Structure 1
Amino acid sequence: MLTQKAKYALRALIMLAEQPDDRLVLIADIAERENIPRKFLEAILVELRKQGLLYAKRGKSGGYRLARPAPQITFGEVIRLIDGHLAPIPCASKFSFKPCEDCGDPNLCSVRWLMVQVRDATANVLDHCTLADALRHRQSTGGLALMFDI
């Protein structure tokens, strides 16, 4: 299940992807527009900056912007950075495998077999959807908010 933290991270990144000409956006503006608690957003943006997804500038003319173009940032990358693995259960994880306590042999477990397929299908979708794709969807549905001066 996607955490609230990952949802907020994706919403903030999509908003930053909307900005023309690498415009820097203040945390307060992101928080207000996306209805994200400011303190929680600050922690998320710091984490995304440390992971190389955001560029930050301090000071009067500071703010945040994407560190890479929107077509190069996938939902899968963001979710993995924020939430960790994509697997619905630990024994289906590629990178954080942990066998279930009540399972004799994970290789014979039919539940794990199905959850690995779910993980792979989920990863395929998330790894092929970028921030640019989300912007196109937003524009096609009329959901693109007007740009505002910062």
Structure 2
Amino acid sequence: MKVSSKGEYALRALLVLGQQQGKVISIQEISDRTLVTVHYLEQLLLQLKKLGYVSSKRGAKGGYILQKTTEEINIGEVIRDLEGPLSPMGCASLTKYEPCQLEAGCQLKPLWSLVRDTIAYVLERTTLADLLDNRLSLVKGEDLVVVKTPS
């Protein structure tokens, strides 16, 4: 799995909207705060709108607003919706499995499955609220990033 600029920029836009949850933010302001061109943001925000993450308002005071709460926006879902499967290889994908002629007895498939599971574990347990509240941390001695639950 590789997150492209599309996935990164979409998450940046969602973060800006999440910081101002409940307010309509102009595409120019989102562009200024994310350093993503208005033209590219138009495409990304249209896709995020179709996926139900944001809605738009037309007019002089128009712009975009989150359609869901920051707690409801799961980063794993956003990445899958925009980028496709989390698995680094098709043979290890749970959602877009692609068979391989060498799969039977393959010694690499367990590695790819572990990578997929680790990525999914972190992304599926992370919400936009977790990112906004800086609730990610490295578990010392475990070398695994996890989401801290709010106290």
Q: TM-score, with normalisation over the residues of structure 2? A: 0.84
Query: In the alignment, which residue of structure 2 is the partner of 1:77?
Result: 77
* Equivalent residue, structure 2, for 1:113: 110
Task: Give 1:127's match in structure 2, choosing from 124, 127, 132.
Answer: 124
Residues 61/112 of structure 1: CA separation in 2 closer, same or farther (3 Å cut): same
Measured in 2, the distance between the counterparts of 1:59 and 1:121 equals 44
1:61 alignment partner, SS class:
coil
- The within-5 A match list for 1:45-64 is 45-64=45-64
Q: Which runs of 5+ in 1 are unaligned?
A: 139-150
CA drift at 1:107: 4.4
Paired letter, 1:88:
P
CA distance in 2, matches of 1:75, 1:65: 17
CA drift at 1:61: 2.0
5+ residue gaps, structure 2 = 136-151
Paired residue secondary structure (1:65): strand
Structure number with the higher strand fraction is: 2
**Structure-2 separation of matches of 1:27 and 1:112:** 43
Match of 1:10 in 2: 11
Aligned partners of 1:111, 1:58: CA distance in 2, in Å?
Answer: 51
Identity %: 40
Please give the secondary structure, in 2, of the residue aligned with 1:55. Answer: strand
Shift of the alpha carbon at 1:24? Answer: 0.3
Rounded to whole Å, the distance in 1 between the matches of 2:104 and 2:8 is: 33
TM-score normalised according to structure 1 size: 0.84
CA distance in 1, matches of 2:104, 2:93: 13
